[in-house]
A and B are shown apart, each in its own frame.
Chain A
């Protein structure tokens, strides 16, 4: 069984730039969620994708956007990067909502630094 993978592992960007992070879900999982984890904090929910559509969103501005592809992989795009966007970005995959016990499995994350 293939676990959740993310790329790249590390990234350094400049304020104002745009970034795209990628995630491949665990085999058999078609729901993908994205989280932002600042240093010393718990992860914060950004949004979730199911059947290639956004299915829930946290308190993040529109410059955070995403996509899900037919193979269930997903992208997180962040425009107009700000210094506070520096964080670990985690992708989690799971069975469809309503199936299973709502357990999510996380990828290793992408560490983004904005300078």
Chain B
């Protein structure tokens, strides 16, 4: 079983739609969680950190469920510019950075 699993997609949605991605992780001792966005042939860029209390940044909402070991990302009112690959990331231990990435979920927002 992979340490971090995501549905690779692609998710093709019309502009204005709401889309949700889920990600599961296998190590219950994982410490911190993130969503990164990666455009084609570019570097990953931090979208948001994910906290147990949930957090929101504009149209983006992230949730963490430690009991079920999954992370979610909700995008409301999708824009064409949201088209990208969304990477779920788990940091496996405190005291070090050892990011474990999922394979990413591709999103295409259609006009």
Which A residues lie at the B interface, using CB under 8 A?
31, 33, 35, 40-45, 48, 55-56, 58, 88, 90, 92, 94, 97-98, 101-109
List the B side residues contacting A103 at CB < 8 Å. Answer: 34, 46, 49
List the B side residues contacting A44 at CB < 8 Å. Answer: 101
Q: Verify A33–B97 contact, CB threshold 8 A.
A: yes
List the B side residues contacting A98 at CB < 8 Å. Answer: 94-95
- What size tier do the contact residues of chain B reach? 20 to 34
List residues of B (1-54) whose CB comes within 8 Å of A's CBs: 4, 31-32, 34, 41-46, 49
Q: Verify B104–A42 contact, CB threshold 8 A.
A: yes
Q: Verify B97–A97 contact, CB threshold 8 A.
A: yes
Q: Verify B32–A35 contact, CB threshold 8 A.
A: no
How far, in whole Å, are A102 and B36 apart by their CA atoms in the complex?
A: 13
List the A side residues contacting B43 at CB < 8 Å. Answer: 90, 106-109
Closest residue to A55 on the B side, CB-wise? B96
How far, in whole Å, are A35 and B38 apart by their CA atoms in the complex?
A: 14
- The reply on B98 being an interface residue by CB < 8 A is yes
- The reply on B61 being an interface residue by CB < 8 A is no
**Contacts A42-B104, A106-B45, A107-B43; A94 near B97 (Cβ below 8 A):** yes
How far, in whole Å, are A41 and B106 apart by their CA atoms in the complex?
A: 11
Q: Verify B98–A56 contact, CB threshold 8 A.
A: yes
List the A side residues contacting B97 at CB < 8 Å. Answer: 31, 33, 48, 56, 92, 94, 97, 102, 104
- The reply on B103 being an interface residue by CB < 8 A is yes
List the B side residues contacting A101 at CB < 8 Å. Answer: 32, 49
How far, in whole Å, are A90 and B4 apart by their CA atoms in the complex?
A: 19
Q: Verify A43–B44 contact, CB threshold 8 A.
A: yes
